[in-house]
A and B are shown apart, each in its own frame.
Chain A
Amino acid sequence: MALLEIKDLEVYYGAINALKGISFDVEQGEIIALIGANGAGKTTTLHTISGLIPAKHGSVKFNGKELTKTPAHKIVSMGMAHVPEGRRVFAQLSVLENLTLGAYTRKDKKEINDSLERVYERFPRLKERRTQAAGTLSGGEQQMLAMGRALMSKPSIILMDEPSMGLSPLYVNEIFDIICEINKSGTTVLLVEQNAKKALSIATRAYVLETGKITLSGDAHELMDNDEVKKAYLGE
């Protein structure tokens, strides 16, 4: 059984059919990339999985449990974290407060502190700036904070929406290195990216989304050599 199984998922925004019945699955330990142009439905897919948008049809099964009828705030404690597009850190709150909110659903203080130490080890810059308001961090640092905040819930899967958006090339490389590290330490990753080249280079498998439908799928390295993908997404 796959860790995350999406079947015939359909989503509407009013009359607009944003997802036209997509199906895919994510196995334990993988990095799955979801690539596609603007408006293809990548963010919609992630929002539907984590319960921010209701699904019209279809199912999302996580560890065998149906998520489409579960309220968003109950999904976190089931082991799913979501790093939203545009980071969405709590700008007025300090770095530490943001991280603590990441562990909102957890109870054990000692374990939360252990997680905090691990996040600080992975992102030393967050430790340096822990008392600073999150809104004063640079874009790259905010991305790190958003990732650290997600890790604080001790997820088995982490959904990442455009983590490289608006970052300098140096930061982009750093963020992708971190995603690989997070994955190596046992967390499954579902990655949505416009930077298809980067995403395919670290993913195990990938799906290509076009106007609400999955048009291509397969091994990430094979997709990199696919002519259509090369033309449409890799700019070659």
Chain B
Amino acid sequence: MSFISNLLNGISLGSIYALIALGYTMVYGIAKMLNFAHGDIIMVGGYAAFITMTANWCPLWLSMVITVTVCTVLGVVIEKVAYKPLRSSPPLAVLITAIGVSYLLQNIALLTQTANPKTFTSIAAGAPPFLQVFSGKGAVFFQTNPYTEEGLKPSLTISMETFLAIVVSVAIMVALTLFINKTKAGRAMMACSEDRGAAQLMGINVNGTISLTFAIGSALAAVAAVLMCSAYPQISPYTGSMPGIKAFVAAVFGGIGSIPGAMIGGVLLGVIEILSKFYISSQLSDAIVFMVLIVVLIVRPTGIMGKKISEKV
């Protein structure tokens, strides 16, 4: 039972990583840059959700809308102000700028929100667990303590947060895949990621497509922020950095630039992290995650779903 519970928790955490990794991988694929400020957009999203959720006037749905809007606008503005002027500069200049933006966001948060971590109230607070399994009684869905009077304790509990993270992430990933493959704007993104110049010759507005990519990536980060802060209910100015790095690892793991790769990489990473935390060592789990990455990169340098380059000249 504990294995199933760990596995589901791993998939849940992994789905959040996948949402963040999608932002990394899409921006890399289309703008050909590593946006190291992506993790800090999660942090900003976390604060936006925290501030609006603790305000009396703001219902939960509005708070979610505000969080997603704040992150989306922030992502697009960062691209326009910090990265766009460097479009034809060497990649290193863009990379350093991204790290600079990351510190800028962290320090603004330090200044306005202080370094003290705040306790985040889960969006599923008060909701019953998604699933409880009692020996001899079977599975019970969406009920709070159904057998307390008989003194029964559940042998397996899947929290609402775990369940929500998986369902929301899967829904978003399906929607994103459909968007990329079925819509004109999605095809334009694919075209830009392959050959920006040729895409322009098709009449595709490359700057517009890059903005759209940042908008989508940042909106996904906002969703990830809410899911993550609900499952791990704390927020500080550094909340975004570790998940940001993990998601970056997940994107590389899956093959950077590949959308299904980011999804698979994210989920795998979450599962490996939780299982190694439980079965090997909770201190070593991050080290194990990075070790697996190294092994994957030795065996398959382009990542799990990485593109094999087979071009004819």
Contact = CB atoms under 8 A, between A and B. Distances in A.
> Are A and B physically bound partners?
yes
Interface of A: 50-52, 71-77, 81-82, 84, 86, 88-93, 97, 100-102, 104-105, 135-139, 142, 149, 153, 166
A90 B201 contact: no
B194 A93 contact: yes
A91 B311 contact: yes
A98 to B, nearest CB: 9
B195 interface: yes
Contacts of A84: 197-198, 201
B125 interface: no
Given A92-B307, A97-B187, A104 B204 contact: yes
B313 A93 contact: no
B202 to A, nearest CB: 5
B202 A76 contact: yes
B191 A142 contact: no
Interface residues of B, number: 22
12 contacts: A51-B200, A72-B201, A76-B202, A81-B201, A84-B201, A88-B201, A90-B190, A97-B187, A105-B203, A138-B312, A153-B202, A153-B203
B202 A135 contact: no
A216 B199 CA distance: 34
Contacts of A97: 187
A74 B197 CA distance: 13
B187 A101 contact: yes
Nearest to A149: B202
Contacts of B199: 101
Interface of B: 184, 187-188, 190-191, 194-195, 197-206, 307, 310-313
A89 B195 CA distance: 8
A139 B197 CA distance: 20
B29 to A, nearest CB: 11
Contacts of B313: 86, 139, 166
A76 B187 contact: no
Nearest to A146: B198
A76 B191 CA distance: 16
Which 10 residue pairs are nearest across A and B when measured between Cβ atoms?
Answer: A76-B203, A105-B203, A88-B198, A72-B200, A73-B205, A104-B202, A90-B194, A82-B201, A104-B203, A101-B202
B252 to A, nearest CB: 19
Contacts of B307: 92
Nearest to A97: B187
B203 A77 contact: yes
Contacts of B198: 84, 88-90
Contact of A135 (B184, B200, B312): B312
A153 B203 CA distance: 9
Contacts of A101: 187-188, 191, 199, 202, 204
A77 B204 CA distance: 10
